[in-house]
């Protein structure tokens, strides 16, 4: 069994909610990012009883959506909360399945959009992906980010939602790593280690 299939099986085991960090090696970030999309949105989110809410903080939702189309992800199973397009002035391709927040600093707005999309797309299994924790850390203080993750993760766990947080392996040992250690049930590295 490959490392990716082991991680996919472990993610499936969180049937009653949980929070997982996927640590992507910064040396092979593009490859690791595609692997992470494959493991989460394609493999797990592609199951007929699953709906994925993708919180886009690093790349605009339109870019992520084009990558997901290349992976043959059905459009009805993915919704976006895009918190970066306004900031990047990237509105050439506004998506019908996306909800836009003005800035990554509007954490309450992000939570409200996630709540709205969970109600709009009731599924047997819901998954929320935050891409990426590092980008949120650039725009928010550690104290504010810690409070945000505490509230978000606990709310999603009580609703049996699997939460997947993308982060880079460079965050290990930092304030961000300490914040994640308080909310994450399990952590996996993609590339550059175990």
Q: What is the pTM of this model?
A: 0.93
What pLDDT is recorded for position 194?
44
- Dump strand ranges (E) for the chain: 18-24, 50-56, 78-82, 98-100, 125-131, 162-168, 186-190
**Does 13 map to a domain?**
no
**Does 76 map to a domain?**
yes
Q: How many residues does the chain have?
A: 194
Query: CA–CA distance from 72 to each of 34, 46, 65 (Å)?
Result: 13, 9, 10
Number of domains in the chain: 1
70/55 Cα distance (integer angstroms) = 19
**Does 115 map to a domain?**
yes
**Does 188 map to a domain?**
no
Please identify which residue in the block is written with the tokens 């069994």.
1
User: Do residues 70 and 144 touch, judged by C-beta distance below 8 A?
Assistant: no
**Does 153 map to a domain?**
yes
The contacts of residue 143 (CB under 8 Å, 6+ apart) are none
**Does 3 map to a domain?**
no
User: Do residues 39 and 4 touch, judged by C-beta distance below 8 A?
Assistant: yes
**Does 156 map to a domain?**
yes
Return the percent helix, strand and coil in the chain, to nearest 5. Answer: 50, 20, 30
Q: Tokens in use for 5?
A: 């299939």
Q: Choose among 87, 77, 145: nearest CA to 111.
A: 145
146/179 Cα distance (integer angstroms) = 6
Q: What is the CATH number of the domain that holds 40?
A: 3.40.50.300
Domain that holds residue 119: 25-165
110/88 Cα distance (integer angstroms) = 17
Task: Give per-10-residue mean pLDDT for the chain (194 aa).
Answer: 78 88 89 89 85 95 90 85 86 83 96 96 93 94 96 96 91 81 93 55
**Does 170 map to a domain?**
no
What pLDDT is recorded for position 53?
97
Helical spans, DSSP H, in 13-129: 29-37, 61-70, 85-88, 107-120
What pLDDT is recorded for position 2?
62
Whether the ω angle into residue 112 lies within 30 degrees of 0, i.e. cis, is no
């Amino acid at each position: 069994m490959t490392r990716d299939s082991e991680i996919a099986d472990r993610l499936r085991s969180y049937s009653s909610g949980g929070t997982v960090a996927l640590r992507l090696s910064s040396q092979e970030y593009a490859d690791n990012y595609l692997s992470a999309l494959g493991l989460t949105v394609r493999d797990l989110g592609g199951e007929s009883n699953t709906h994925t809410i993708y919180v886009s903080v690093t790349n605009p939702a339109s870019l992520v959506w084009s990558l997901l189309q290349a992976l043959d992800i059905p459009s009805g199973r993915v919704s976006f909360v895009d918190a970066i397009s306004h900031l990047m002035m990237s509105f050439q391709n506004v998506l019908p399945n996306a909800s836009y927040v003005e800035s990554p600093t509007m954490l309450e707005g992000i939570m409200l959009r996630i709540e709205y999309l969970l109600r709009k797309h009731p599924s047997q299994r819901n998954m929320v992906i935050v891409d990426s924790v590092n980008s949120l850390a650039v725009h928010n203080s550690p104290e504010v980010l810690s409070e945000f993750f505490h509230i978000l993760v606990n709310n999603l766990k009580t609703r049996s939602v699997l939460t997947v947080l993308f982060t880079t392996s460079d965050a290990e040992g930092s304030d961000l790593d300490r914040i994640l250690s308080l909310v994450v049930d399990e952590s996996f590295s993609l590339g550059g280690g175990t």
